[in-house]
């Protein structure tokens, strides 16, 4: 804390001037000041510079603070969590993982209070540490705190960096609406940033995966700053990976011009299994997987043609599927080879969806859409922070800089050729 007076040193100065402060208040304020200094120090490491410091390692700037009240045995502490102009920050000492547990607890308690829970939900409330009951005001306070943090995360700006790769997928949750339990689509977008790290970009809940719903969701990402790729400004979304849902495909074309579409190879393999059955599909899927074992764009195309031809006699339906899907299944081949394994399937986002379902299975039926947004948003924010601070780069930042150079230093006519030989 070389460029400003720390909270702890300020308090020490105050104590020297007023030694008669109550001991209980003294301990509470000492604890609060110490925690605030630790939070500020962690923020400085995240930013790469102290407050007001000029530093070449600075990655972003402070953008005010968010109030956080922390209950401790010494009393309630009022802390200030720094907000950043780009990215998000939550201090490790406040245990961000507990956000999900708190959100889950709040959802179950809300269901209990609203009278829509079962005996199992009541048992879950007790298992989460609430033996004596919970008041509506307590649940409202907890929900309000979580909702504020989740809303800030889900509506943050996305223009702080370049996202060349975008992944889209959906899962379904049971939510109570108008006295009925209905299945609702939860759509999630993740992306690979120019740094090579993954980020959760957004989430929305709707009645179904219609073209209109996907279009509205993708437009919301663009309104928050997600850039599209144009000949004049190519550093936008270059590739979108998803399943072959018709509504999603139409929305991608309408909202993300300039982006190629990669049909998820794992979903395509499932389509083959659905068409042939589990036993008959195994050798066919093994043959199709040889397409993805190639080491150059040229051999990918050659293998694709050979596999398609070899299946025409025995499995004409699968051969027709391959012919129709060739451009979409091989879109990955137009990008650097070291990126292929990372961009040709939706596996990364499917793991996120499994974590959402694991948490949601505890609740089973959400009392309303807001409660589902609260829990899913908390899960996604924790995943985002884990990717940002605890995971090595998903894709090499060096290879992404090379990709950016190819896009900006060459004409549109030669950019495609350069990507094919990267």
Query: What pLDDT was estimated at residue 309?
Result: 96
Clarify whether residues 166 and 42 are in a common domain.
no
Closest CA to 311 of 280, 340, 336: 280
**Domain extent for 227:** 161-420
Query: What pLDDT was estimated at residue 250?
Result: 95
Clarify whether residues 182 and 303 are in a common domain.
yes
Whether pLDDT at 101 is above 50: yes
Confidence of residue 75 (pLDDT cuts 50, 70, 90): confident
Query: What pLDDT was estimated at residue 84?
Result: 86
Q: What are the tens digits of pLDDT across the range 245-284?
A: 999 999 999 999 999 999 999 999 999 999 999 999 999 9
| Percent of all residues in the chain with a pLDDT value above 90, rounded to a whole number | 47
Closest CA to 367 of 197, 185, 113: 113
Out of 98, 119, 139, a domain closes at 98
Whether pLDDT at 419 is above 50: no
Query: What pLDDT was estimated at residue 297?
Result: 94
Clarify whether residues 271 and 327 are in a common domain.
yes
Q: What are the tens digits of pLDDT across the range 161-181?
A: 999 999 999 999 999 988 899
Clarify whether residues 296 and 309 are in a common domain.
yes
Whether pLDDT at 115 is above 60: no
Query: What pLDDT was estimated at residue 134?
Result: 54
Q: What SS3 class is residue 366?
A: strand
Confidence of residue 303 (pLDDT cuts 50, 70, 90): very high
Clarify whether residues 121 and 185 are in a common domain.
no
Query: What pLDDT was estimated at residue 97?
Result: 45
Q: What span, in angstroms and rounded, lies between the C-alpha atoms of 12 and 240?
A: 55
| Percent of all residues in the chain with a pLDDT value above 70, rounded to a whole number | 78
Confidence of residue 110 (pLDDT cuts 50, 70, 90): low
Q: What are the tens digits of pLDDT across the range 380-410?
A: 988 898 888 766 889 999 999 989 888 877 5
Residue 142 CB neighbours (<10 A): 18
Q: What span, in angstroms and rounded, lies between the C-alpha atoms of 400 and 96?
A: 30
Query: What pLDDT was estimated at residue 23?
Result: 57
Please count the structural domains in the chain.
3
Q: What span, in angstroms and rounded, lies between the C-alpha atoms of 290 and 346?
A: 19
Closest CA to 81 of 38, 48, 31, 50: 38
Confidence of residue 1 (pLDDT cuts 50, 70, 90): very low
Clarify whether residues 340 and 237 are in a common domain.
yes
Clarify whether residues 181 and 291 are in a common domain.
yes
Q: What SS3 class is residue 78?
A: strand
Q: Which residue has the higher pLDDT, 73 or 345?
A: 345
Whether pLDDT at 135 is above 80: no
Clarify whether residues 94 and 104 are in a common domain.
no
Clarify whether residues 83 and 114 are in a common domain.
no
Q: Which of 73-87, 152-166, 182-196 has the lowest mean pLDDT?
A: 73-87
Out of 132, 155, 178, a domain closes at 155
Whether pLDDT at 420 is above 50: no
DSSP letter at 228 equals: B
CA angle 185, 188, 189 (to 5 degrees): 150
Query: What pLDDT was estimated at residue 12?
Result: 63
Clarify whether residues 85 and 112 are in a common domain.
no
| Mean pLDDT (whole number) for 72-88 | 79
Kindly report the pTM of this predicted structure: 0.72
Q: At which residue do the structure tokens 């190639």 appear?
A: 294
Answer whether 239's CB lies under 8 Å from 341's CB. Answer: no
| Mean pLDDT (whole number) for 104-115 | 56
Clarify whether residues 254 and 201 are in a common domain.
yes
Q: Which residue has the higher pLDDT, 199 or 66?
A: 199
Q: What are the tens digits of pLDDT across the range 309-362?
A: 999 999 999 999 999 999 999 999 999 999 999 999 998 888 899 989 988 887
Clarify whether residues 399 and 286 are in a common domain.
yes
Query: What pLDDT was estimated at residue 11?
Result: 61
| Mean pLDDT (whole number) for 90-113 | 61
């Amino acid at each position: 804390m070389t460029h400003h007076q720390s909270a702890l040193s300020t308090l020490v100065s105050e104590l020297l001037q007023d030694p008669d402060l109550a001991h209980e208040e003294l301990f509470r304020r000492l604890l609060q000041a110490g925690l605030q200094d630790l939070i500020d120090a962690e923020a400085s490491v995240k930013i790469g510079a102290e407050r007001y410091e000029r530093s070449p390692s600075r990655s972003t700037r402070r953008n005010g603070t968010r109030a956080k009240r922390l209950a401790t045995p010494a009393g309630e502490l009022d802390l200030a969590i720094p907000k950043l102009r780009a990215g998000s920050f939550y201090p490790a000492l406040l245990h961000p993982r507990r956000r999900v547990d708190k959100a889950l607890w709040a959802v179950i308690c809300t269901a209990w209070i609203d009278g829509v829970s079962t005996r199992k939900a009541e048992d879950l409330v007790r298992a989460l540490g609430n033996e004596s009951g919970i008041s509506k005001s307590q649940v409202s306070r907890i929900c309000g705190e979580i909702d504020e943090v989740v809303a800030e995360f889900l509506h943050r700006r996305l223009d702080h960096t370049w996202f060349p790769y975008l992944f889209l997928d959906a899962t379904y949750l049971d939510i109570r609406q108008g006295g009925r339990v209905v299945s609702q689509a939860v759509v999630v977008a993740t992306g690979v940033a120019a740094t090579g790290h993954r980020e959760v970009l957004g989430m929305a809940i709707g009645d179904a995966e219609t073209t209109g719903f996907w279009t509205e969701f993708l437009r919301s990402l663009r309104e928050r700053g997600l850039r599209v790729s144009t000949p004049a400004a190519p550093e936008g979304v270059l590739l979108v990976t998803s399943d072959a849902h018709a509504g999603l495909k139409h929305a991608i074309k309408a909202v993300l011009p300039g982006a190629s579409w990669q049909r998820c190879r794992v979903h395509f393999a499932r389509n083959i299994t659905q068409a042939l059955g589990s036993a008959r599909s195994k050798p066919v899927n093994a043959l199709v997987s040889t397409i993805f074992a190639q080491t150059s764009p040229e051999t990918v195309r050659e293998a694709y043609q050979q596999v398609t031809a070899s299946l025409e006699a025995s499995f004409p339906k699968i051969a027709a599927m391959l012919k129709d899907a060739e451009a979409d299944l091989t879109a990955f081949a137009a990008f650097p080879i070291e990126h292929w394994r990372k961009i040709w399937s939706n596996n990364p986002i499917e793991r996120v969806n499994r974590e959402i379902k694991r948490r949601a299975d505890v609740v089973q039926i959400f009392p309303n859409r807001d409660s589902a947004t609260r829990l899913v948003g908390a899960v996604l924010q924790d995943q985002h922070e884990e990717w940002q601070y605890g995971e090595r780069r998903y894709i090499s930042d060096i290879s992404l800089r090379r990709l950016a150079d190819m896009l900006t230093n060459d004409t549109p006519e030669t950019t495609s050729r350069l990507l094919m030989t990267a």
